[in-house]
Structure 1
Amino acid sequence: MDDIDDELRKLFNDDRLDVHVTPDATSSVVRGAQRRRRRRAAATGTFAVVAVIGAGIGLTQLRPLALDSADDLLPTSSSTASTTPPPPSVSTYTQTVTVTVDPPVGGVPNTAQNGTTAPNTTKSSSTSTTKESAPGVFGRLALGMSEEDALKTGSLGTAGTPTEAGCKPYSSVSNADPSTVLISSAKGIVRIKLPDTARTSKNIGTGSKVTDLKNAYPSAAVNGSELVVQMTATPAWVYVFENDGTAVTSVRMRLADNDCPGA
């Protein structure tokens, strides 16, 4: 150890190792220290400015983020609600009207190809069960009229011989046949025979063709040599058309409910 100490002492005492300081060394050191302080101060200021700016930018960026996060958490009301009132509801209806020009026969309407109800062109015709309607009146005489009332009309002619049933025949001012009018004491006038020149309301009379008679009165029923047409007036009565199969030979009106045979 002593050898080492001795060597160190020799080394430190060697003049060759001395550092020779120039006369302006002190001022140079001072100036270098000042330069270092200025650079340090400048660097510190720059860092401070940068730090402040960075902090401002950070706050600016952080604030919207915070607000956005808050907005996401807070309940919001819908701003898209419609303020326009709903359009008024409109109710529509369809009304279908079917117009029938003529009522269908048998209650079944004619249907056209397009499915609409077409006017019925079929004409109704009388059948054998159809009865004509007309009062049983000729001139001033009427079926069912009493003998007394008939005499008051002045239309009766000469009285004939009463029948076995008590029915009294009369001629009339328009027909000289002595059996033109037949009167029952209980039923009144039960028969009026029309003169050859007389015609019914459908233009049928003595001399008319049987075919014309049947066309005018489709409900005419055959009774021997007679064609009988029922009428529906009150009192009920019938037309009796005597014929030879081709033409009408006589026409008489007869009370439906009578007590005189052969009326």
Structure 2
Amino acid sequence: MGDLDDDLRRLFSDDRLDVHSAPVSTEDVLRGADRRRRRRTAMAGTFALVTLVGAGIGLSRLGAPSPDSTVGALLTTSTSAPTTSTPPPSVSTVISTETVTVGQSPNSTGGNTGKPNPGGTSRSNSTPSSSPPTPESQAGRYGTLALGMSEADALATGSLVEPSTPADPDGRCKAYATKSVPNADAVVVSPAKGIVRITMPSYAKTPKGVGAGSAVSDVKAAYKNSTQSGSTVLAPMSATPPWTYVFETDGATVTAVFLRLNANDCASV
């Protein structure tokens, strides 16, 4: 062991093993230090640049769509057609207001205002509307049958029941039953005057609400111009041709109602 130590000491003390460095000046040392600083600076800048580029690539990969989404977007773009909505055409509405004065009041001279009407004709007053006919002015009619109707026209209505029977002793006028009144003389027809009498059904009422079963006082109240002859109450109508309601009574109540043509030529009517 001691020999080894001696050998090592001898080795290390041998001048031949010394490393002799070349003489270095101060300027060389400063230049070397400056080179090392520049190298470190360049390496730091390169590292920073690489770091920024890597971060940018990472961000772009994070924001970039996956392959599946890219394919879907491409498919959607290729199959979707651009939609262009055409705005509806503009519509202009013009409202025209026209004021028409009807029935102008006359001026102080008795005429109208002198302004022409829209039709170009001046009218001093309006035409009065016709009032509906009163019951007294209506023609004698029940259903399809009317006083004065010819026998042929009456038969054509289908309301008469054939055959007829004589209505008077000489057989000049004819009597018929009707589908609503089974009496053989419900309708009496004159060959010259046509129908001269029509019997109303027992359920029928006159326009003033009078019929079989009504009190005589109700008849007289409804028809102010009525007159009574025995048990019969007559209510003449001012129609054309003139005719009369004939109310047969039992003295207090109406039992039958007839429509009778005033200018008839049948003795039994």
How high is the TM-score relative to the length of structure 2?
Answer: 0.48
Which structure has the bigger radius of gyration?
1
Q: What is the TM-score of this pair, normalised by structure 1?
A: 0.49
